[in-house]
Amino acid sequence: MLRSAELKSRIETNGLASVTDAARRVLENLRSEIASGNLDSGRLGLALNGVDVAIRRELDAAARYSLRRVINATGVILHTNLGRAPLSEAALEHIRETAGSYSNLEFDLATGERGKRDIHVDRLFRQLMEKELGEALRPALDVSTIVVNNNAAAVLLALNTLAEDGEAIVSRGELVEIGGSFRIPDVMAKSGATLREVGTTNRTRISDYESAINEKTRLILRVHRSNFEISGFTEQPSLAELSELARRRGLVLMDDLGSGALFDLRSVGVGGEPNVFDSLRSSVDVVAYSGDKLLGGPQAGMLTGRADLIAHMRANSLFRALRVDKLILAALEATLMAYVKSDHDSLPLLRMMRLSKADIGRRAEALAVKINAADMHAELIDGESLIGGGAAPSSMLPTKLVAIRSKSATADQLMKQLRESDPPIIARIGDGQVLLDLRTVSVDDEASILKALSAGS
C-alpha cells in the first residue's frame, strides 16, 4: 500500500512514519469491523476500495487542530458546549496586538515601576459603574473589581476571604447547581466557610435570615436562580431588605449573580433578569459574575464591590492561583471598552440578541429557497432562540427556523452529515426534522450550510 501511487505524494508531504501509522489505524478498524460481522462481502469490497481515501482522511484529521471553529445553528446564544460568548473583532485585535509582543501587563509606564495587572480593566469597570450609578454610588462606596478564572473561582475566592472559619447564610431556595460541577454547598465547603441554610425551598423570609445570625456569622449570600425558576406559593426577601439586615448586624452581603449583564436586558425584550448595576444599586457589598455569559466577553469571573473587601481578596494567596492571564485581560478590556463607548453592536452577543424575528425570517426564507432547489425539503416555522449559558431560564427570543427534511436521509443522518462538514455545523432536531436557527449564524456562514446539505443529496 505504501508503494501505491495514491499514497506516494502523501508520503512526500506527511512523511513515511505518519502515513504508515494512518494506514495501520485504517486497517485495524477494518479488521475489527470484519471480526464483528458488520461488513458483508458487498460492503467489504466497497470498504477495501476506499482504503486509500480513508488513509488520506485519517492523515488530514491528525494534522488538524482538535479545538475547531464550528457553526452554531442551534439558536442557543450562550451555548456552554460551544464556547459561550464569541469575542468581538476589537477583542481579537487587542489580544493579537498585546499578546504577540511584550506588554505593560504589570508595569506602570508613568513611574517605570512594577504595576498591578487588574488596573487595566478596573478603571473601565469604575467608569461604567459611575456612568450608570452616578450619585447612587457616592459618597459611601468606593467600588473596585478584580478578575479571576471564572465565576466559580470568584465565589470560592470571596467566600474563602470573607467567611473562612465562619458561617455564611444561604436560603434553601438558592442552593443551586450550575452545570454538573458547580454546586453552592460544595463550593462553600471548599472555601472553608460553613453553610448555614435557612428557610424552605419555596419560601424564605427576612426573619429566617435574622434568626440564623450568631457570633460566627460573617456573610449573607444571595445566589441568583440562573437556570431555574420557582413559582407558585413563594416568598423571598428583596436585596434591599437583605442589605438593610446585613448593615444593621455588621455582616457582608454578597450576590452570586452568575450572568452579569452590563446593560438593561429589557432593551432586547428580556424581563426580570437583574444586571450588575441593579445589585450595586441595592447596596450589595460584593457581586460575583461571569465574563462569558451576558457580558459577552472571555471566560472570567469578576468580583465587583467595596474596595476594602476587594483589597482583602487580592491579598489572599488563592487569588494568585485563580487569576487570569494577559489574553483574557486583553479580551476583557476591549469588551468593556465597547460598553464604555456605548458601542453595543460591536459585541456579537448583543448583535445576536437584538436581531428581530423579521430580520431572521428574511434570511431564513432565502436560505430555504436555495435548499429546496438543492433537492431537499425546507420550510419556515416559528420557533424560539434561547439565551442559554444558565442565564434567563424562561426568556426566549422569537425566531424563524428553517426546518429540513431529506428524501434519502433521516434527521439523525443529516445532523451527522452537518457535524462532519468543514467547518462542522451544529443544529437541533424537532419533530423529526433538522432545525436551523440563523440567529446564531453569521451571513457569511450560510453558504457553508448550503454546501454541507448539498453534499449528501
Ligand X SMILES: *Cc1c(COP(=O)(O)O)cnc(C)c1O
Site membership for ligand X, residue 287 (CB under 6 A): no
Q: Indicate which single residue of 122, 256, 333, 446 sits in contact with ligand X (rule: CB under 6 A).
A: 256
Site membership for ligand X, residue 263 (CB under 6 A): no
Site membership for ligand X, residue 224 (CB under 6 A): yes
Q: What part of residues 125-154 is at the interface with ligand X (CB under 6 A)?
A: 150-152
Site membership for ligand X, residue 222 (CB under 6 A): no
For residues 325 and 333, the answer to whether their CB atoms sit within 8 Å is: no
For residues 325 and 148, the answer to whether their CB atoms sit within 8 Å is: no
- Residues 385 and 452: their CA atoms lie apart, in Å, by 23
Residue 84 C-beta: closest distance to ligand X, Å? 8
- Residues 322 and 297: their CA atoms lie apart, in Å, by 18
Residue, CB closest to ligand X = 258
Q: Which residues pair with 157 in a beta bridge?
A: none
**Chain position carrying cell 436557527:** 437
Site membership for ligand X, residue 355 (CB under 6 A): no
How many Cβ atoms are within 10 Å of 410's Cβ, its own excluded? 13
> Of 202-210, 223-231, 279-287, 397-405, which part binds ligand X (CB under 6 A)?
223-231
Site membership for ligand X, residue 290 (CB under 6 A): yes
Q: How far apart are the first and last CA of the chain?
A: 32
Window 168-187: contact mask with ligand X (x via CB under 6 A): ----------x---x-----
Site membership for ligand X, residue 304 (CB under 6 A): no
Residue 243 C-beta: closest distance to ligand X, Å? 18
Question: What b/e string do you get for 175-190 counting C-beta neighbours within 10 Å, with b at 16 or more?
Answer: ebebeeebebeebbee
Site membership for ligand X, residue 305 (CB under 6 A): no
Residue 220 C-beta: closest distance to ligand X, Å? 15
Site membership for ligand X, residue 237 (CB under 6 A): no
Any idea of the CA torsion for 60, 65, 66, 72, to the nearest 10 degrees?
-100
**Residue placing its CB nearer to ligand X in the complex, 107 or 228:** 228
Site membership for ligand X, residue 74 (CB under 6 A): no
> Of 197-205, 255-263, 337-345, 403-411, which part binds ligand X (CB under 6 A)?
255-263
Residue 353 C-beta: closest distance to ligand X, Å? 17
Q: How far is CA 447 from the centre of its chain?
A: 26
Q: Indicate which single residue of 237, 274, 301, 305 sits in contact with ligand X (rule: CB under 6 A).
A: 301
Q: Indicate which single residue of 98, 226, 385, 433 sits in contact with ligand X (rule: CB under 6 A).
A: 226
- Residues 418 and 448: their CA atoms lie apart, in Å, by 10
Q: Indicate which single residue of 390, 418, 421, 433 sits in contact with ligand X (rule: CB under 6 A).
A: 390
**Residue placing its CB nearer to ligand X in the complex, 89 or 186:** 186
Closest by CA position to 324, among listed 181, 116, 164, 85: 116
Residues of this chain that interact with ligand X (CB under 6 A) are 150-152, 178, 182, 223-224, 226, 256, 258-259, 290, 301, 390
